[in-house]
Amino acid sequence: MSDQQAVDDESDAPLIDIFEMAVVFTIPVLVGAGIALTDPTLDVASGAIGASGVGWLLVRVRRQFDAVRTSDGIVRRRRPARSEALERLAKWEYDPKYDRLLALVLAVVGIGVFAVIPFGEWSDENMLGLVIVSHLGLVGALVVYGAAQR
């Protein structure tokens, strides 16, 4: 069988796509509802909302593939990029001088957040958040600056 004939024998299977997306959304919701119903510290609404968020993430991953019916059965193929704006963004070249500017901005953010810490009354959660942001800013600045030196 030639390649052209193999391509002609293929057809989309949208009902399989819909069914699989419904399943990958429903399973986490049912598991989350079951956990929320059996755990007295959780309420059902928060369990369902959290689980539906996980289900939605799984649906978004599944949407990147199309089910295709072939002579060998159902196969999944990656969907082609449909957004022209994203294609243009992927092909966009920028001037490397912006790397050093980004490193400078990240360094200023990191140092600025560290400088703000002693002047406020922070809860433990806020303090941890400030330390993480400042640390990521400084480490990001070093990484970007190091990558710009190549």
Q: For CA atoms 52, 54, 56, 58, give the dihedral sign.
A: negative
Q: CA geometry: angle at 29 spanning 53 and 21, to 5°?
A: 75
- The CA distance from 34 to 47, in Å, is 8
Q: Please tell me the pTM assigned to this model.
A: 0.46
Laid out side by side, the sheet with 73-78 consists of 11-12, 65-70, 73-78
Task: Supply the pLDDT for residue 115.
Answer: 92
- How would you write the pLDDT of the chain (150 residues) with one tens digit per residue? 455 555 557 788 888 888 888 998 888 888 887 887 787 787 777 777 888 888 888 888 888 888 888 888 888 888 776 676 677 777 778 777 788 899 999 999 999 999 998 888 888 888 888 999 999 999 999 999 888 876
Beta strand ranges found along 47-92 (DSSP E): 65-70, 73-78
Q: Are 138 and 106 in contact (CB under 8 A)?
A: yes
Q: Specify whether the CB–CB gap between 109 and 137 falls below 8 A.
A: yes
Domain boundaries, the chain: 3-78, 93-148
pLDDT for residue 82: 67
The secondary element (H helix, E strand) that includes residue 62 is helix 44-62
Q: Which two tokens stand for residue 105?
A: 């901005």
pLDDT score of 123: 85
Cα 66 from Cα 73, distance rounded (Å): 13
Helix (H) or strand (E) holding 12: strand 11-12
β-strand partners of 76: 67
pLDDT, position 134? 94
pLDDT on residue 34:
81
Amino acid at 37: L
Question: Distances in Å between the alpha carbon of 39 and those of 33, 34, 59?
Answer: 10, 9, 26
